[in-house]
Amino acid sequence: GQQVQQSPPASLVLQEGENAELQCTYSTTLNSMQWFYQRPGGRLVSLLYSPSWAEQRGGRLTSSAASNESRSSLHISSSQITDSGTYLCAMGLSGSFNKLTFGAGTRLAVCP
């Protein structure tokens, strides 16, 4: 089946104010991507969604994608302590009722 790999794997530690880039690669051709944020023990909240591989922006967050390279990235600029948590990417198949395949997530810790 489809597989989604995230990097950095497991965890990333930043100093407050630094920028971060998280990446997601997938094993098959997919048609949409979403990035989610999850606090420890909390619900997933959608950050950015792209149905057509267009670049998406939301405040300090930007997602970009290269479908021909089977890869998408989430850029976090000027990181803040409150950005700490787990970031998960999910890829979707067109016309598949939002059947998403999730990556395992990258845990981000932003330190003062």
The residues that touch another protein, with contacts defined as CB under 8 A, are 1, 4, 10, 31-32, 34, 41-46, 49, 51, 88, 90, 92, 94-105
Closest distance of CB 72 from another protein, Å: 14
Backbone torsions φ then ψ of 82, nearest 5 degrees: -70, -5
Q: How far apart are CA 7 and CA 108, in angstroms?
A: 11
* Nearer to another protein (CB atom), residue 4 or residue 76: 4
Residue with smaller CB distance to another protein, 52 or 78: 52
Query: Whose CA is closest to 73, among 10, 6, 15?
Result: 6
The nearer residue to another protein, 15 or 54, going by C-beta atoms, is 54
Q: How far is the CB of 32 from another protein (least distance, A)?
A: 5
DSSP code for 28:
S
| Residue from 67, 62, 63, 56 nearest 92 by CA | 67
CB 44, min distance to another protein, A: 4
Nearest distance, CB of residue 26 and another protein, angstroms:
12
Could you give phi then psi for residue 69, rounded to 5 degrees?
A: -110, 5
Residue 106's Cβ-side half-sphere holds a number of Cα atoms within 13 Å equal to 26
**Of residues 16 and 49, the one with the C-beta less far from another protein:** 49
